[in-house]
Amino acid sequence: MNLFCARSATVVAPFWLVASSLVVAPIGAAYAAAPVTQTLSVADLTPCCGNPVPDATGIAQSNSLSKADVGQADIFSSRIIIPSSTSSTITIATSASDSSADIRVVLSRGGLDYAECFPVREHDGPDDHSSSGGSSTFAVDIVKVTFHSVTVFKQVQGRCDVDLSTGGIQPGVPAVQAGDVATASSVVNSIRTDFLSGIFVQP
């Protein structure tokens, strides 16, 4: 398994299980034969834009699971990993004790931004050892599940603004399409610097 597939599997697995259980488990034997349709779009984020953070890596994905006449689960997830030893030319706080870093994942289509996500730093994980040469991981996980007439929306980690034309944060799951672009940025003193980018494809 290559790095792209490995990272995809890491992000997909827990939310596939959650969404599958929410959409499929409660439906009963009457719907057992109905297929579950999945639409998965993944963007492998690589250094871009003058390479200001050459050691950073990332991934973003949109996953939709649906079962006819039963329900649908929409999931958006992203991970941005910044090594503590990065040779960054911009200011990014990666110390595990410092939560001031403002990392964002911006989604665009046809050159126009349509959603902005705000990952949060993951703590106490296997990669959270910045002081000893590890890395800092910034994560966003958003889930929306509709089962018949009931809808559950959960911002598991971080949040996303899905309507940039309206003031404030309009929370939701971004409606990603293949060909959209995901860009990871650092915002310092209201100045946005892009450092990772990738195009959503359907594996």
pLDDT tens, residue by residue, 157-201: 999 999 999 999 999 999 999 999 999 999 988 899 999 999 999
Query: ∠71-77-82 over CA atoms, to 5°?
Result: 175
Per domain, the residue ranges of the chain are 3-24+38-199
Handedness of CA 110, 193, 2, 19 (dihedral sign): negative
Burial of 165 (0-12, 13-18, 19+ CB in 10 A): exposed
86 backbone dihedrals φ, ψ, rounded to 5°? -55, 145
Q: 198, 196, 201, 200: which is closest to 80 by C-alpha?
A: 196
Q: Distance between CA 159 and CA 136 in Å, rounded?
A: 18
Specify whether the CB–CB gap between 94 and 130 falls below 8 A.
yes
Q: Is the pTM of this model over 0.85?
A: no
pLDDT at 85 over 50: yes
Radius of gyration of the chain (CA): 18
What does the pLDDT look like over 2-50, one tens digit per residue? 444 444 444 444 444 455 454 445 444 444 556 889 999 999 999 999 9
